[in-house]
A = this chain, B = another copy of it.
Amino acid sequence: MKTQHQASINAYQADGFIGQYQRLVKNVVIPYQYSVLCDEAPDTEKSHVIQNFINAGKALRRTGKAAESGPAEEDGAANTGNAKSDENGGFYGMVFQDSDAAKWIEAAAYSLSLFPDDKLEKTVDELINIIADAQDEDGYLNTYYTIKDKDKRFTNLQEGHELYCSGHMMEAACAYYEATGKEKLLQVMLKNMEHIYRHFIVEKHQGFPGHPEVELALLKLYRVSGNKHCLELAEYFINTRGADPHFYEKEKAKRDWSVWNNDPTDTDYSQASKPVREQKDATGHAVRAVYLYTAMADLASSTGDAELFAACRRLWESITRRRMYLTGGIGSTGLGEAFTVDYDLPGDTAYSETCASIGLLFFASRMLENEVDGEYGDICERAFYNTVLAGMQLDGKRFFYVNPLEIIPGISGISVTHKHDLPVRPKWYACACCPPNVARLISSYGKYAYGENEDTAFCHLFAAGKVRLENGMRFTCETKYPYNFEILYHIEKGGKLAVRIPGWSRTWQLSVNEKKLETSDVLLQKGYAYLNVSDGDTVRLVLDGTARFQYASLKVPALTGKTAICRGPLVYCFEGVDNQGDVLSLSLLKNGALRVSDFQEDLLGGTVTITADALRTETSGALSTELYSDEAPATSPCQAVAVPYYTWGNRGENQMRVWMDFV
């Protein structure tokens, strides 16, 4: 079967559930996040990111080395309309603070492709001017090093995040160019790319970034610009990684400074213990891992590198068969925000970073460019509808960085082992990678939902809206997914249609123009139904919307004796607010019913609850005061109410549990 590539960001105009989220991002998230970046949001963690760019520009003009030769302004704040000038002209924030602006621009670009908005475009243009002003004449661009110490450039690849920040800005540049046709940021980043190329390829300085990101960005930049240096650089970083596992030790020995004093021998942390083609287990920092694997899968599909794809496939299975939460969360521990070992998936101390699930979706999407297989889309939806959406409050104004599968007030967020598992979403973070990452993913959902090759439209994820592909096919998808499981494709301009049949759908039915198709009428391959469609056809797919008990492998110690509930792609959870304040004493019944409610417009932004037959264990007798007793506690039948995991924590601090006892 021929492979395919992502739809362009301009291919999809969303409606339905996804469209609602994309409008929330446009109307609330992007303006709110911009106010944070400008340090204008009240009672919010300081960002300073735009001021950092302004200050870097000033620092360059003081030394006469800015790439842009505009007039040296005393106060760059005029350019942003918002950012306060820092009187000291200093840097504030994490070493990778620049990337927050990059991800915001990327989100804004995708949003502009969906919803033209002159005011937002002007804001972005002004920010791009500030960023261009902060680029050194040699192409270097990073406010931390430009403001603080230019001599340290590229001397600490392990911790320095310069290539990481460049990568995010390259992604922003590609997105803004694709959305608006404007080239300024693209040229800035091509110049930056050439600077990096000179350093690593021409001048042959060895090295690879501690935090992968630039690799996947370079491959995007290559596709947008056609500049082969991008591809060459991406290949260099991917192929160099792990070739010398002592590289970071040697690098550290040459310098007298550090960002966090990270251990250079902990090469698993940055996926650098072995050359990438030899790697077998997903290790270390989960976001780094999936960003790297995304680039590897992208390069494998671009170059037809079977060995590289085989490595990607091993790593994919390492994650999805042994190291992933039911919610598509990855990274079991806050110690290093990292993968641990196979089957070690505690729910209450989970890290399960929002960004890591976003990266997993990126990885899945690039795997789809190597082979069209429904399991990739299944994981995309698992990650998106659960961990990614849970990463943002329903009002778009608060964010989770960490997404546990159990919250118990009094322990979660308080016990030293549960400090990171917060019961309510904060407004912002000192390390603010997740909020803009959610915004850019939601706004670009179309390119993950749809793919194409010369004659086929691929419907990987179910997303209502209009789709116009470069191969000429045009159709409208109509669905109330993920709450209704009828998906209609109204074909405007036909061709071949490939629709994913989710692995969770025990039954399904395809019809064309109200005529049900028999199995023999459809080519079914690796989880996709392939059919020819003509102009004016209506294709109807009906999936199985039954609520399902979920079971975990018996190799996962934390999940024995437990069950969870899913419906469609949604994982459900039980919150105290729906269950008399106590979910710990609930056990679901093995042969009990799962009742699906009607759609409740006014509940949690519009949702469907599931009610399960359960037993509630009474707190009485000895166990009302003692820790342990041999007095069997009494139980009584009850109904337990579950809501989608992505909606949890929107009604104040209370208990939450995904995996329930099961009797």
Contact = CB atoms under 8 A, between A and B. Distances in A.
A551 B661 contact: no
B326 A628 contact: yes
B631 A551 contact: yes
B504 A661 contact: no
Interface stretch (A17-25, A112-120, A553-561, A597-605): A553-561
Contact of A632 (B336, B411, B551): B551
Contacts of A398: none
A556 B627 contact: yes
Interface string A333-350: 101101011111010110
Quickly give the copy total for this chain.
2
Nearest to A627: B553
A341 B561 contact: no
Nearest to A319: B627
A463 to B, nearest CB: 24
Interface string A549-571: 11111111110111000100000
A557 B408 contact: yes
Contacts of A623: 551-554
A335 B626 contact: no
Given A551-B631, A633-B551, A626 B340 contact: no
A630 B543 CA distance: 16
A321 interface: yes
Contacts of A663: 561, 590, 662-663
A549 to B, nearest CB: 6
A40 to B, nearest CB: 34
Nearest to A661: B561
Contacts of A181: none
A322 B410 CA distance: 12
Interface in A608-644: 617, 619, 623, 625-633
A414 interface: yes
A159 interface: no
B557 A321 contact: no
A324 interface: yes
Contacts of A633: 551, 554
A106 interface: no
Interface in A531-590: 548-558, 560-562, 566, 582, 584-585, 587, 590
B553 A628 contact: yes
Nearest to A349: B417
A627 B552 CA distance: 6
Interface in A387-442: 406, 408, 410-411, 414-418
A271 interface: no
Contacts of A47: none
A383 to B, nearest CB: 13
A143 interface: no
Contact of A342 (B335, B410, B566): B410
A418 B344 contact: yes
Contact of A320 (B321, B346, B585, B627): B627
A417 B340 contact: yes
Nearest to A334: B417
A552 B408 CA distance: 16
B550 A415 contact: no
- The CB with the most chain B CB atoms within 10 A, among A341, A343, A506, A566, is that of A341
A663 B615 CA distance: 12
A343 B340 CA distance: 25
B628 A410 contact: no
Given A560-B661, A562-B561, A549 B630 contact: yes
Nearest to A562: B561
Contacts of A549: 630, 632
A576 to B, nearest CB: 12
Nearest to A556: B627
Contacts of A341: 410-411, 414-415
Contacts of A346: 346, 348, 417
Nearest to A336: B416
B548 A560 contact: no
A6 B585 CA distance: 42
Contacts of A562: 561
A405 to B, nearest CB: 11
A416 B331 CA distance: 12
18 contacts: A320-B627, A335-B416, A340-B411, A341-B411, A341-B415, A343-B408, A348-B557, A406-B557, A551-B631, A552-B628, A553-B619, A554-B633, A555-B584, A557-B584, A560-B587, A560-B617, A561-B561, A566-B630
Interface of A: 320-322, 324, 326, 332-333, 335-336, 338, 340-344, 346, 348-349, 406, 408, 410-411, 414-418, 504, 506, 548-558, 560-562, 566, 582, 584-585, 587, 590, 617, 619, 623, 625-633, 661-663
Given A342-B410, A551-B630, 9 more contacts: A324-B627, A333-B415, A333-B417, A335-B417, A336-B416, A340-B411, A417-B417, A551-B631, A560-B585
Q: Which 8 residue pairs are nearest across A and B when measured between Cβ atoms?
A: A561-B661, A340-B415, A548-B630, A554-B585, A344-B415, A341-B415, A344-B411, A335-B416
